[in-house]
Structure 1
Amino acid sequence: MGLFTDAYDLFCIPPIMRLIGRVYYGDVDDPKKRYQVPIAITSAMVAIALLGAVIGQLVFGHLGDRMGRRRVLAWCGNWRDYPLSATIMSEFANRRTRGGFIAAVFSMQGFGILASSTVTMAICAIFDAASHSSYEKTPKDADWAWRLILLIGSIPAGLTFYWRMKMPETARYTALVEHNVLQAVNDVRNVLDLPLRNEELPPYPSPLDYPFFSRAFFRRHGRDLFSSAISWFLVDVVFYSTTLVLSQLNDQYLPKKENMNAYQDAYNVARFQALLAICSTIPGYFATVLFIDHIGRVKIQIMGFFFMAIALFAMGIPYFSYWYDHSDRGFLFLYGFTFFFSNFGPNTTTFIVPAELFPARFRSTCHGISGAFGKIGAIVGSIGFYWASQQNEENDHSNAKRITAGLVILGGACIVGVIMTRLFTHETMGRSLDDNENDHVA
């Protein structure tokens, strides 16, 4: 539910910005800027949200190793619970199906996208029917509509809090970090609802004797941490650019703003997102769930980066010469293709691998660091590409060339992701978490 809420919050932004643009910027004299939220405001909003995610993942990831996974998860929210959600799932799952279970947790983002779009469409349809005027460009109640869409996102967060309070602590944390083996046995017994004698608990290694900031840590785990962080950085540069920016390019596929009121405009944006989720995003997530424990994390991550690069090059290189003047389905297919292989690829695997690579004492902290680097990449990608694609609005050809360059750069980032994954990422398929403990004790 934390990942569900995360996606709900993120993907309600594009249609909400349409409503805000109508309410607050409908009286702008320049027809090209009318109904559009200024780029400085949009960039600041996105940057603040993502910066909060960076800080939250670092703080709550570290606290998850210091105070316990369940305790911290119970009172942290959506983006901040990446390290806790992944770590808890990895520590409850077994080696044969662990990747699929963690991927299933992450796949809830797809349903969050769908829920966000569905709620937005429903609210816009209700408000539109009640406005009694299909020709009114900015209905008076539009200022309430976008607030209500955001408010509904608090419902799953509230339900999540109750369920999280009922969760037991993971046995691996209790035994390996708190050194309370008896409590770990009791927790396992409660989770499995089976009788379990104390002597049946497998032997655990001695606790690690080196701190996080030490040569021993970086000698033993530095490569893994670098690999997880740089891969997440690269995929989020691409993923958030395409999520928050390329949606702006698809205005050519939607009805013109001038022919709709505020609710109809936001409704069409939400419908486009819902169709993309059903046809591309959700299938990509579940392809990972099905194949992650058969193909492996490294192969799926390399494959995803590679096909994302192919799609971005196919969109970017001919954009000025072809796509700019041809609003056909080919561009939309490539757009959806990018999202499919992002989720059947590095967007999901970067969430899984850090939860498996590191010993229990550092697992949540290292996942939080990796995720924080990802959100830094999101800031770089979304804001940088957004500014690049919005400059010189009076010169459409210059904008098209700039978008071409941006798409090609994103494709290049995916190629770098292929290389980095091949050189630095360790495969964790079929490997128990206890193997990592044993590897680093001697």
Structure 2
Amino acid sequence: MEDSSGHDHLALEALERRRQALAEIDNAKFGWFHVRACIVSGIGFFTDAYDIFAINLVSTMIGFVYYQGNNNITPHNVDTAIKLSCSVGTVIGQLVFGHLADRVGRKRMYGVELMIIIVATVGQALAGNGPAASFWAIITFWRIILGIGIGGDYPLSSVITSEFATTKRRGAMMAAVFAMQGIGQLSAGLVGLIATVAFKKAIQADATKLDFVWRILIGVGAIPAVSALYYRLTIPETPRFTIDVEQKIEKGIQDAKAFLERGASAGDYTDNIAIARTYNYPRASWADFKRHFGRWQNGKVLFGAAYSWFALDVAWYGLGLNNSIILQNIGFDGEGDAYTSIFQVCLGNIIINLLGSVPGYWISVFTIDRLGRKFIQIMGFTVLTIMFVILGFAYDQILATSNILFIVLYTITQLFFNFGPNTTTFIVPGECFPTRYRSTAHGISAASGKLGSIIAQVGFGLLKDIGGTNKWIDHLLQIFAFFMLTGIFSSFLIPETMGKTLDELSGELPPKETMDSEQFKGTY
């Protein structure tokens, strides 16, 4: 029978081999397997943003198709239900998939959420009126299902990219994945514009021909998802999950080597040695979750990540709801016949995305591993606070002075949303939590953000017309300034993750120099 010292020696040896295997991933030379991971994850976010953004254009189109008796305007309750339903589903998906990815594995869940998105996208494109169910009820149902798939993509893509990334370029890789949102938003406008132009004569003759356009616009969103599905289903399990959660050190080591060599899993490996329980390496459970996050040093990070995302999305989606105001001020308010109206709305949305949104994403990609996540987040919240104070308290004066000035201020705001907290709130939760809760905590943080978006869509959508159409916009901008200010303070609760390994950030294992010390014995 092996004595305890022999057992301790094997445990220490296993832990050292684990450290070396994961260090190879942390310090690996950037290669094709990293590019592949970014592309596979990024296509999902491209699809997510495309589907979310396209519905804003679709809502305008269906007004001409289904609500001609309402001056071609989609009723407020229908418009809200169609747009809000996706956010509700997203909250569900973020929490459920976040938990399942930590419980059964990243690989087993990755691809499932994309299949849900594909089915829901096709379902939307085929939605129609019927005696038993109206058009808007059917598309709302499919938007909820779509939201569940989109929600699942947040924690999975973030965590998988994080756990496969090198320490030096982890921020840039995760930012590049998230930056595909901007490309997705832009693409929705481009597809809508091209489809509208293609049906120009038909739309001018009969506005209901926009029924073809919005179905094409929605349906195209399934194409990138289908193209990425095979690669998501075949992506290897992350070695960190295999080693730390499943506690199969040998398989994890082999998978790490295989990933670095050919970007694939090593396959089945039967000689699995678990991290010795002598050191009480914790397993995920509700009791352990409460114990871990019940400690202030851990709980404050989760709160800081979750609230920062919440505060951001209140303003991010609140401003997005008022795109019609922005379009009006740049001369693309969608007035006129059906073709002219839709053409202007699509073109105006393309311009809005090119003004500051897309550039902001990619500035983050190239600077986040130099400036740091925490710095960019606090800087972004600070600039946004200042911008919303200016826009909120001088709204009427700015519009009376110059539309150009308004556009410049709006562009700066969009730039620092994405070169700021919109990017970092996605990245930090994928880095700073233990492997056993990394996906769950990211899901909680992301769901907090979507809760903020729901509040913006329901509450602020009603408030903006107090005293008359769009009469309360200035007060809404002032409220956004308050939330941006609170985001500054919550950002001080998160750690700076730049240049640190996931082990250092999570505190899961002691540093190498202490592994052979007597003090190490019995601490894990």
Both structures adopt the same fold (TM-score exceeding 0.5): yes
Q: 1:112 & 1:215 partners in 2: Cα distance?
A: 40
Q: Is 1:113 aligned to residue 185 of structure 2?
A: yes
Superposed CA RMSD in Å reads 2.5
The 5 A counterparts of 1:211-290 are 211-212=285-286, 213-219=289-295, 221-255=298-332, 257-259=334-336, 261-290=337-366
Would you say the 8 A contact 2:332–2:348 is kept in 1? no
Q: Is 1:157 aligned to residue 199 of structure 2?
A: no
Would you say the 8 A contact 1:86–1:355 is kept in 2? yes
Q: Residues 391, 124 of structure 1: CA spacing in aligned structure 2 closer, same or farther, 3 A cutoff?
A: farther
Q: Residues 189, 210 of structure 1: CA spacing in aligned structure 2 closer, same or farther, 3 A cutoff?
A: closer
The 5 A counterparts of 1:415-430 are 415-422=485-492, 424-430=493-499
Residue aligned with 2:396, SS: coil
Q: Which residue of 1 aligns with 2:28?
A: none
- Structure 1, residues 30-70: CA drift from partner, whole Å, max 9, x if none? xxxx2222222222222211010000000000000011112
Residue aligned with 1:320, SS: helix
Q: Residues 336, 37 of structure 1: CA spacing in aligned structure 2 closer, same or farther, 3 A cutoff?
A: same
Q: Is 1:96 aligned to residue 138 of structure 2?
A: no
Q: 1:425 & 1:270 partners in 2: Cα distance?
A: 38
Would you say the 8 A contact 1:171–1:188 is kept in 2? yes
For 1:17, which of 22, 34, 59 is the aligned residue?
A: 59
Q: Which residue of 2 aligns with 1:47?
A: 84
Q: Which residue of 2 aligns with 1:438?
A: 509
Indicate the larger mover: 49-58 or 68-77.
68-77
Would you say the 8 A contact 1:210–1:217 is kept in 2? no
Q: Is 1:403 aligned to residue 403 of structure 2?
A: no
Q: Residues 206, 103 of structure 1: CA spacing in aligned structure 2 closer, same or farther, 3 A cutoff?
A: farther
Cα deviation for residue 210 of structure 1 reads 6.3
Would you say the 8 A contact 1:353–1:428 is kept in 2? yes
Would you say the 8 A contact 2:332–2:345 is kept in 1? no
Q: 1:155 & 1:37 partners in 2: Cα distance?
A: 28
Residue aligned with 2:110, SS: helix
Q: 1:126 & 1:282 partners in 2: Cα distance?
A: 26
Gaps of 5+ in 2: 1-42, 114-148, 512-522
Q: Is 1:127 aligned to residue 204 of structure 2?
A: no
Residue aligned with 1:251, SS: helix
Q: 2:74 & 2:100 partners in 1: Cα distance?
A: 38
> With CA pairs under 8 Å and 6+ residues apart, which has the higher RCO, 1 or 2?
1
For 1:188, which of 256, 265, 280 is the aligned residue?
A: 256
Q: Is 1:305 aligned to residue 342 of structure 2?
A: no
Q: In terms of Rg, which structure is larger?
A: 2
Would you say the 8 A contact 2:372–2:498 is kept in 1? yes
Alignment-mate amino acid for residue 416 of structure 1: T
Residue aligned with 2:74, SS: coil
Cα deviation for residue 215 of structure 1 reads 2.7
Q: Which residue of 1 aligns with 2:50?
A: 8
Count of aligned positions: 422
Q: Which residue of 2 aligns with 1:31?
A: none
The 5 A counterparts of 1:36-75 are 36-75=73-112
